[in-house]
Structure 1
Amino acid sequence: HLEMATVRAPFDGRVISLKTSVGQFASAMRPIFTLIDTRHWYVIANFRETDLKNIRSGTPATIRLMSDSGKTFEGKVDSIGYGVLPDDGGLVLGGLPKVSRSINWVRVAQRFPVKIMVDKPDPEMFRIGASAVANLEPQ
């Protein structure tokens, strides 16, 4: 029955948060590790609502990671967020991302998440939650 105890992933990736060791038992619905799919990487960039009119799915992007700002990656806009949680305590809908405004005492344009797919990511450089700078080239 050793075959039934083998974990196989549907893709190559990186194992993180390994919470088990040899000889321990695994239980249903209790994660023992996280597997990051390193084949596809996305950058979420928060753009001002005043800039959204020039952004479309497929808009080219240049990405620089804060960990190595000398190297650039190319990408394309995958999608644009259509809702964020308001800062003023108004209607709150489940599942909406919260994007804080940068200055509390001045009314500034709200920012909306723009999801950018990286064309040829280097899986050794990209990390979930890392900071990046994205420049779009509207056409």
Structure 2
Amino acid sequence: PFDGRIVSLKTSTGQFATALKPVFTLIDTRHWYVVANFRETELKGVRAGTPATVYLMSDTGQRFQGSVDSISYGIAPDEAGLALPGGLPRIQRTLNWVHVSQRFPVKIRIDKPNPELFRVGTSAVAVLEPGRGDNGERH
């Protein structure tokens, strides 16, 4: 059991639930994460526990503190036919005629999210602070 929000409820009184047919989606609201795609050239010194500041596009005036939960160890290549469906995340490059740094998903856990603002799929901006330790001091 956990706290959450029910969305996409697709049932009515008297309707039967059947196997493999979703009736609703349950969003776990106990923990919130922001997944930011950082260039491979920006990951030096970033690891689990690295402090982060996040703001949501829905209210850019509020800042949220968090820390890196994990960094992806792989992404699907851009070359056609090499990616397995449902396997590694696919991150699109913006230019196809110039070599662009690859991007890797960084999962950031938010310390004290605002339950009125955080929603699955909301756009966010994340700033990592790899030189700052847990006590706020710079290294």
Which residue number corresponds to residue 6 of structure 2? Answer: 15
Distance in 1, matches of 2:4 and 2:81, equals 40
Which residue number corresponds to residue 106 of structure 1? Answer: 98
Q: Does 2:82 match 1:91?
A: yes
Greater shift, 115-124 or 89-98, is seen at 89-98
What is the deviation of 1:90? 6.0
Distance in 1, matches of 2:44 and 2:80, equals 26
- For the residue of structure 2 that corresponds to 1:103, the secondary structure is coil
- For the residue of structure 2 that corresponds to 1:77, the secondary structure is strand
1:17-32 maps to which residues of 2 (within 5 A)? Answer: 17-32=8-23
What is the deviation of 1:92? 2.0
Q: How large is the RMSD of aligned CA atoms in angstroms?
A: 1.2
Distance in 2, matches of 1:48 and 1:90, equals 23
Distance in 2, matches of 1:28 and 1:111, equals 38
Letter of the structure 2 residue corresponding to residue 136 of structure 1 = L
Which residue number corresponds to residue 118 of structure 1? Answer: 110
Distance in 2, matches of 1:27 and 1:108, equals 47
Unaligned runs of 5+ in 2: 132-139
Letter of the structure 1 residue corresponding to residue 25 of structure 2 = T
What is the deviation of 1:88? 2.2
Unaligned runs of 5+ in 1: 1-9
Which residue number corresponds to residue 5 of structure 1? Answer: none
Distance in 2, matches of 1:88 and 1:28, equals 37
Which residue number corresponds to residue 71 of structure 1? Answer: 62
Is the CA contact 1:61–1:76 (under 8 Å) kept in the aligned structure 2? yes
Aligned residues: 130
The ranges of structure 1 where at least 4 consecutive aligned residues each deviate by more than 4 angstroms after the TM superposition are none
Q: Does 2:123 match 1:131?
A: yes
Percent identical residues: 68
